[in-house]
Amino acid sequence: MSFAPRPTPPYYAVIFTSQRTGVDEGYGAMAERMVTLAQQQPGYLGAESARGEDGLGITVSYWQSLEAIAAWRRETEHAAARDEGRARWYSHYELRVAKVERAYGWDAAQDAPGDPQPR
Amino acid sequence: MSFAPRPTPPYYAVIFTSQRTGVDEGYGAMAERMVTLAQQQPGYLGAESARGEDGLGITVSYWQSLEAIAAWRRETEHAAARDEGRARWYSHYELRVAKVERAYGWDAAQDAPGDPQPR
């Protein structure tokens, strides 16, 4: 996984910060499956994910609307994965739903002096 | 770094996703210094950060208002660190400013069946 696309705001971000337990059983397969499933959801715009060696990870998924997020929350396999997550894979998590108001990016290959400007 | 506090929404999130170059020189010291500096800024609410072995990282910082974010952006040492970051430490980044509308958390030690409810 790498950078998500950069659609024109407004759109929504779901910020999921989690601490993993030491239990790996089935975790990788579930995580991959959730990416595949999310990509098939209406209103899915992309996601970015990172986890450090200490087991703390952040996944941010991007969505067109709150309705799209609510539908993803109701998705049956996703709900089952959340239950499994609480039973096995995570010791703690925080979830935040946020409306993206401004976004910009920068790439070394297209560098220009000074800070990039929001669009 | 671990989980940020969970103030009552609304508040703001700055989602900074970055790809590191192989250059480490000064990076760790800068990153620590930026955390210390940010903590001294008015309106700073906390931050969460993770970076994987592939060098892709996500830092989400939380702020009381857009004004607090703008002031942090103007902070002199922070601006200099951004210049250094573009010159040395990052090959690509994406930055998104988002308004947190809902937030909730879950902890294994206080588990209750079913999904936690937003507040």
Q: How many domains does chain B have?
A: 1
Contact A98 B98 (CB under 8 A): yes
In a domain, A49, yes or no: yes
- What pLDDT score does B116 carry? 80
| pLDDT band at residue A108 under the 50/70/90 scheme | very high
Give the neighbor-by-neighbor strand order of the sheet with B56-63. Answer: A44-51, A56-63, A11-20, A90-107, B90-107, B11-20, B56-63, B44-51
Residue A108 lies in a domain: no
Q: In this structure, is residue A78 part of a structural domain?
A: yes
pLDDT of residue A111: 80
Answer whether residue A112 is part of any domain: no
The predicted complex's ipTM stands at: 0.94
- Structural domain range at position B85: 11-103
Q: How high is the pLDDT of residue A116?
A: 80
DSSP secondary structure string for all residues of B46-110: EEEEEE-TTSEEEEEEEES-HHHHHHHHH-HHHHHHHHHIIIIIEEEEEEEEEEEEEEEEEEGGG
Residue A60: CATH number of its domain: 3.30.70.100
A24-56 per-position pLDDT tens digit: 999 999 999 999 999 999 999 999 999 999 999
User: Nearest by CB to A104, which of B51, B95, B105?
Assistant: B95
Question: Looking at the domain assignment, is residue A3 inside a domain?
Answer: no
Is B116 a member of any domain?
A: no
Best CA proximity match to A73, nearest among B75, B61, B114: B114
Q: Rounded mean pLDDT of B8-30?
A: 96
pLDDT of residue A90: 97
Chain B contacts in chain A segment 7-46 (CB below 8 A): 9, 12-13, 15, 17, 19, 21
Residue A109 lies in a domain: no
Q: Nearest chain B Cα to A102, which residue?
A: B97
Residue B114 lies in a domain: no
**What pLDDT was estimated at residue B119?**
54
DSSP string over A19-47: EE-S--TTHHHHHHHHHHHHHHSTTEEEE
Question: A10 preceded by cis ω (within 30°)?
Answer: yes
Kindly tell me if the per-residue pLDDT of A119 is higher than 60. no
Choice among A4-8, A43-47, A110-114, B12-16 with the minimum mean pLDDT: A110-114
Q: Is the pLDDT of residue B113 over 70?
A: no
